[in-house]
Structure 1
Amino acid sequence: MKRKVLLIYTGGTIGMEKDYETGSLVPFNFENIFGKIPEMKLIESEVSVHPFQKPLDSSDMGPEQWKIIAGYIGENYENYDGFLILHGTDTMAYTASALSFMLRGLKKPVILTGSQLPIGDLRTDAKENLLTSLYYASLYENDEAVVQEVAVYFEYKLLRGNRTLKFSAEYFDAYQSPNYPILGQSGVHLNFDKDALFRTRVDSPFSVDLHLSSEVLFWRIFPGMTMDLFPVLPKMKVLILQVFGSGTIFSSAETEETLRKIRANGTEIVVVSQCVSGGISFGKYENSNIFSRIGAISGNDITAETAITKAMHLIDNPNYQGTFAENFSSDLCGEMTEDF
């Protein structure tokens, strides 16, 4: 059976080529992608291409574009066996995280990929990333999709989208999933860690939840910073604090007083770690107990990108029962380890 894959091109380096008159990178007509990569015709799947009307640099991608992508997948969910999203690399982890929450009950592959070099460059990584992503997006066993989640494929590795972060602007191997195993690797064969693959409940129907809020603020704590600015911040529904190590912050009375005022304002405080690997453990050190005393929420081993998009998705979302704290602390789609 020939599987059908919908390829959504949003923009980014993978869809660029050099203008030899100016030397600048410009988008090419993505409808001609089969001419750029004729090997695509050798893949045993039927590929339909849907490019954004205006390709976007990934720095311009945000909630409105996430809604467009999620909505388009929802409209075409029954017509395709898998979905491949071509995306700029700088914010791909944010988009993958957001989509993982918006595409509820997902039982088909949604793969994001991009490249560090344009598709026409001699040493480009674009062709391998695109071709192997197509394989992953169309791979079924016993009439069931092998991948049933939002994933990022880059440089021979398949990673859970909401566990992924970009760690290099220089190397082809640009993405890591430090707190979760690699889902699959591409070599002579496509290999999977089947125990690591996400599976939603069989009785959970697929739906698209486009709810996103902009009332989130992310603040990185650093040594010697003043707390004077915090009381004059506009009231936000959620403040995400990126703190030291496993959850510590400077222990002055001013710090606790300021954070209590923010909480009294009705703002939820989520705590995530500045460390790439590991996560938050309230009570491990004395200087983390302040967060327990003020009723902050531990982000456990969640990435900063996923903490932001998860908060945006949960704030005042009528499709969830329980409090924001209860829902944020729950592992919704494989994004965090609950008992970290």
Structure 2
Amino acid sequence: MTARAAKKTSILIIYTGGTIGMVQDAKNGALKPVKFDKIQEVVPELKKFDFIIKTITFNPALDSSNMNPISWIKIAKTIERHYNAYDGFVVLHGTDTMAYTASALSYMFENLDKPIIFTGSQLPIGVIRTDGKENLITAVEIAAEKVQGECLVPEVCIYFDFKLYRGNRTLKRDAELFSAFRSVNYPALAVAGIDIKYSIEFIHYPENKGILKVNTDFDDNVVILKIFPGINQNVFNSVLNTPGLKGVVLETFGSGNVPTSRWLINAIKRAIKRGIVVLNVTQCQGGKVVMGQYQTSVELLNAGVVSAKDMTTEAAVTKLMFLLGQGLKPEEIKMYLNKSLRGEISE
């Protein structure tokens, strides 16, 4: 008897939009969208994997600046519909809001046991110096990687310029360099060189394998309010008194500090008394919020502001929208904001 042939690895590529999906027209040199059902002709290297690679293209394709919770839900439901048919997923996405979308997806997928790898490019895939081909090829390889039949990286990640990061730990740091993304407060999950070297100790594995839950409820009645020297009292009050407002991501100085102006503290206190959840995030790319370390943050702590610790702004605002979408009470939301749901925060 001959041994039964092993099942081929299958990867689904989802093109949502973005720079990576453009090629130059052979006649006039203008950029036009790739036909992603022909992606293996544009990137023939993919054929060498001997994987089953299928594609889905959003119609219309979205510039990442136009992404919103409806778009995040569409991506999540697309993956959910095809979850059992594929070993891994690669989501092609514009770079500007990729960290927001990856963070949002991480909260939606509970007990995820397959890779969802976001990638894109700074230059279109159809131009000579593109970074898109390497990003796509390696993202596919990572999405397909298994050890003893189990997916090696069962997380929502961002792969860009030879680094694999946890999606909800990542931010876009540069508009021009190929190394557009960075994860300051959490190590890279893998680094691609001659080989792809995985840092297994930093990868999150689900506690309940095979019990996937996808929750797509969001509430977008939130605002990011950045503190700056000379912030105007009327403007500040007007933001906090926005009709329907339920959550505020307060971007503060350093380790969570704000001016000690009485009017500012009182405005925050009044907002919290009305049931608005206020989450304190540092404006710095690295480090964390430690409320009470300085006098300028003691008042926030006493008022009931929640520390985001070392969360990125992208992870914080999407987490707040996600928790508000669950219909929880403010105190319950505060409790979950202080807990790591998908590795977005160091506890």
Q: TM-score higher than 0.5 here?
A: yes
Equivalent residue, structure 2, for 1:234: 242
Pair 1:280–1:252, CA change in 2 (3 A): same
Displacement, 1:322? 6.9
> Does the 8 A contact of 2:277 with 2:330 survive in 1?
no
1:136 maps to a residue whose letter is: I
Say yes or no: does 1:307 pair with 2:313.
Answer: no
**CA distance in structure 2 between the aligned counterparts of 1:237 and 1:121, rounded to whole angstroms:** 45
Contact 2:170 2:181 (8 Å CA) reproduced: yes
Check the 8 A contact 1:74/1:207 in 2, yes or no. no
Give, in whole Å, the separation in 2 of the partners of 1:316 and 1:176.
28
Q: Does 1:155 align with 2:164?
A: no
Q: Equivalent residue for 2:3? A: none
The residue that corresponds to 2:222 in the other structure is 216
8 Å CA contact retained: 2:276, 2:330: no
Distance 1:31 1:204, change over 3 A: closer
CA offset digits 1:71-113 (Å, max 9, x no partner)? 1111111111100101111111011000000111101000000
Equivalent in the alignment of 2:39:
33
Residue 258 (structure 1) aligned with residue 267 (structure 2) = yes
List alignment gaps of at least 5 residues for structure 1: none
For 1:319 and 1:35, locate their aligned partners in 2 and report how far apart those are by CA, in whole Å: 49
Residue 281 (structure 1) aligns with: 290
3-state SS of paired residue (1:228)? helix
Residue 119 of structure 1: how far off its partner (Å): 0.9
Q: Secondary structure at the match of 2:334?
A: helix
Match of 2:128 among 117, 122, 127: 122
Write the mapping of 1:48-197 to structure 2, written as runs, cut at 5 A.
Answer: 48-197=54-203
DSSP-derived class of the 2:255 partner: coil
Is 1:292 paired with 2:301?
A: yes
2:213 aligned with 1:207: yes
Cα distance in 1 for residues equivalent to 2:26 and 2:329: 52
Alpha-carbon separation, structure 2, partners of 1:139 and 1:321: 41
Paired residue secondary structure (2:73): helix
Runs of 4+ in 1 over 4 A off after TM superposition: 19-24, 318-322
Q: Give the Cα separation in 2 of the matches to 1:319 and 1:208.
A: 17
Counterparts of 1:321 and 1:221, CA distance in 2:
23
Q: Summarize deviations over 1:190-211 as a string: whole Å, max 9, x none.
A: 1111000011213571011001
Q: Where does the alignment leave 5 or more consecutive residues of structure 2 unmatched?
A: 1-5
Does the aligned pair in 1 maintain the 2:280–2:289 contact within 8 Å?
A: yes
Contact 2:161 2:178 in 1 (8 A): yes
Match of 1:269 in 2: 278
State the 1:227 CA deviation.
2.2
Please show how residues 316-327 of structure 1 align to structure 2 within 5 Å.
Answer: 316-318=325-327, 323-327=332-336
Using the alignment, how far apart are the partners of 1:265 and 1:15 within structure 2?
Answer: 46
> Hey, what does 1:329 align to over in structure 2?
338
- Report the RMSD for the aligned CA atoms in angstroms: 1.7
Cα distance between partner residues in 1 of 2:301 and 2:84: 46
- Does the 8 Å CA contact 1:13/1:117 hold for their aligned counterparts? yes
Whether contact under 8 Å (1:27, 1:55) holds in the other structure is: no
Give the partner amino acid of 2:311.
Answer: I
Q: CA, structure 1 residues 319+111, in 2 after alignment: closer, same or farther (shift >3 Å)?
A: farther
Q: Which amino acid aligns with 1:275?
A: C
Aligned residue pair count: 338
Cα distance in 1 for residues equivalent to 2:94 and 2:40: 20
What SS does structure 1 have at the residue aligned with 2:55? strand
Task: Kindly provide the amino acid, as one letter, of the partner of residue 181 in structure 2.
Answer: Y
